[in-house]
Amino acid sequence: METHGQWERYKKYLYYNPELGLMVDISGMGFPENFFRDMQARMDQALKCMADLEKGAIANPDEGRTVGHYWLRAPHLAPSPEIATEIERAIRDIEDFARKIHRGEILSSTGDKFDKILLIGIGGSALGPQFVTDALTTGHDLMNIYFLDNTDPAGFDRVFSALGDHLCRTLVLVISKSGGTVETRNGMLETRYLFAGRGLDFARHAVSVSQAGSLLDRTAEEEGWLARFPLWEWVGGRTSETSPVGLLPAVLQGFAIHELLRGAVLCDRITRNREVKDNPAALLALMWFYATGGEGGKTMVVLPYKDRLQLFARYLQQLIMESLGKEKDLAGNIVYQGLAVFGNKGSTDQHSYLQQLLEGPDNFFITFLEVLKDRNGSSPQVEEGVTSGDYLNAFLQGTKGALRQKGREYLTITVEKVDAFSLGVLIALFERAVGLYASLININPYHQPAVEAGKKGARFIVDLQRQVLAFLRQNRGKAYTAEEIAFALEKGDETEGVFKILEHARANPDHGVRRTEEKNILYSKYYI
């Protein structure tokens, strides 16, 4: 399966760092011999930009902001002693709060000990905690966690019914950097109604994580919530796992946050290395550049061969795609940059889309994540002399061989085991790879200007809905087609939107909208 030349290439390019417990194998990528030499000047510049960023340069020029996620795990690197003190204080306060919760020194409104967490947040305010929870949960953590990360009513109901009678023992973490994200607000409001319906005092169950002075922070202050933890302007949502966003739920669950931070800080130190072959983040960034021609020409399939890492692909989707998916470069040129990420886990995905990766268009590269330790303790044999873990390893190696034969490219990141330390390493590794790659392609990875467009669109539709419902109420008992309503409201250009609003309204009991049945649904009439 393997040729001598491959082994030589493997030996030549394998990165291994025993301190990090990390290997990065890039030999399965077909870059030419002179690639590193040709990229040296660009990478030197990227590393210099990163060094400036860490010293507090305005690395997010569009928003005039510094970018400080690396300070979160090394407060002494922060550009001012005030910032360092704030970070240290926040970690201390989180630990202190969690200790009191665990010891029952802070009790719920009913005098019960808290043993459940309901985390309400979205995007960067949920993905990190979800990933870390799934990776580290033992099944008997100090507290069990549930998430609301959308504005889907049935999604709320599913979680509420799982919480059932435990609501009186549930600590609610509302996490939002901006403090104004609608999905999070809706989750909070519905949770509040649920508490009120059970006669429970929501404020005595609620905790916020948000920027000082945000709507959420002010609400928490005015209503006297149990605690308020800070988030700072200089931490982006997608790089907030080592901030209170990630640390608060982790420490409440009993995860080893100092190990997570130690993994991240060590990885940060090692990925500052200016010697590219000794810098795994620089290696990743260069491989992304090679694979996509620096233009996002290929997608990255993230395949952890470990169930506990299956949410990593989803976590990386935000970290990478929200950071790198940009219309303009730093000079204002239209570039349409990005790096699309998908994936779930191996070997499971070998039984779904791997067929296409082997025989379909060669428009991707794979990042395998390999974990050497199978489980705590030993494994039974599933065949003579072979364990399930041997098979997982064999499927990974076998898939690489099959890809090689087809000339498909991949790289492999190996960690010793899944624990808080290795998660810290992986998070920091990809954070820095994203930053370095962004410099290589000259874009700002720290803003997300387009996200606003979808939010604006939603506000427009909610406003249009108010007008449509008001029209039907004013003309109670009379029935109208979507076209007639749009015309009457002088919203002829929005007829499709009006139709979708009406269809949604008649499918639900909330607004009392009904529909006449016509052969062609588009001529159906709606009334209240």
Ligand X SMILES: O=P(O)(O)OC[C@H]1O[C@H](O)[C@H](O)[C@@H](O)[C@@H]1O
Catalytic residues: 322, 351, 455
* Count of residues that bind ligand X according to CB under 6 A: 14
Residue nearest ligand X, CB atom distance: 237
Which residue from 137, 151, 178, 344 is in contact with ligand X, where contact means CB under 6 A? Answer: 178
Q: CB nearer to ligand X: give 69 or 177.
A: 177
Among 339, 369, 342, 370, CA closest to 356? 342
Q: State the minimum distance, in angstroms, from the CB of residue 340 to ligand X.
A: 17
Residue with tokens 């996509």: 292
Window of 120-128, 404-412, 436-444, 495-503 that interacts with ligand X by CB under 6 A? 120-128
Burial of 127 (0-12, 13-18, 19+ CB in 10 A): buried
Residue owning tokens 């080592």: 242
| Chosen residue from 117, 122, 145, 486 binding ligand X by CB under 6 A | 122
Q: Which is nearer to ligand X, 123 or 497 (CB)?
A: 123
Of 322, 349, 409, 494, the residue at the interface with ligand X (CB under 6 A) is 322
Q: What angle do CA 443, 446, 450 make, to 5 degrees?
A: 80
Q: Restricting to residues 195-254, which ones interact with ligand X according to CB under 6 A? A: 237-238
Least Å from the CB of residue 216 to ligand X:
8
CA dist., res. 487 & res. 484, Å (int): 5
Helix (H) or strand (E) holding 389: helix 388-405
CA 266 to chain centre: 22
Instruction: Write down the residue that tokens 């990065």 correspond to.
Output: 24
| Interface with ligand X, residue 323, by CB under 6 A | no
- Judged by CB under 6 A, the chain residues 490 through 519 that form the site for ligand X are none
Nearer residue to ligand X within complex by CB, 340 or 402: 340
Please pick, from the candidates 27, 66, 170, 184, the single residue that binds ligand X as defined by CB under 6 A: 184
In angstroms, how far is CA 415 from the centroid of its own chain? 21
Omega into 323 within 30° of 0, i.e. cis? no
Does 176 sit near ligand X (CB under 6 A)? yes
Provide the CB-side half-sphere exposure for 358 (13 A, CA): 15
**125 binds ligand X, rule: CB under 6 A:** yes
Shortest gap between Cβ of 315 and ligand X (angstroms)? 12
* 121 within 8 A of 238, measured Cβ to Cβ: no
Q: Which of 42, 69, 116, 177 binds ligand X (CB under 6 A)?
A: 177
- Write the CA distances from 527 to 471, 476, 498, integer angstroms: 10, 7, 13
Q: Could you say whether residue 326 binds ligand X (CB under 6 A)? A: no
Q: Note whether 292 binds ligand X by CB under 6 A.
A: no
Backbone angles phi and psi of 353, in degrees to 5: -95, -5
> Nearest CA to 184 among 172, 198, 199?
172
R_g of the chain, CA atoms, integer Å: 26
Span from 55-63, 122-130, 281-289, 374-382 in contact with ligand X (CB under 6 A): 122-130
Binding track over 428-457 against ligand X, x by CB under 6 A: --------------------x--x------
The residues that touch ligand X, with contacts defined as CB under 6 A, are: 122-125, 176-178, 181, 184, 237-238, 322, 448, 451
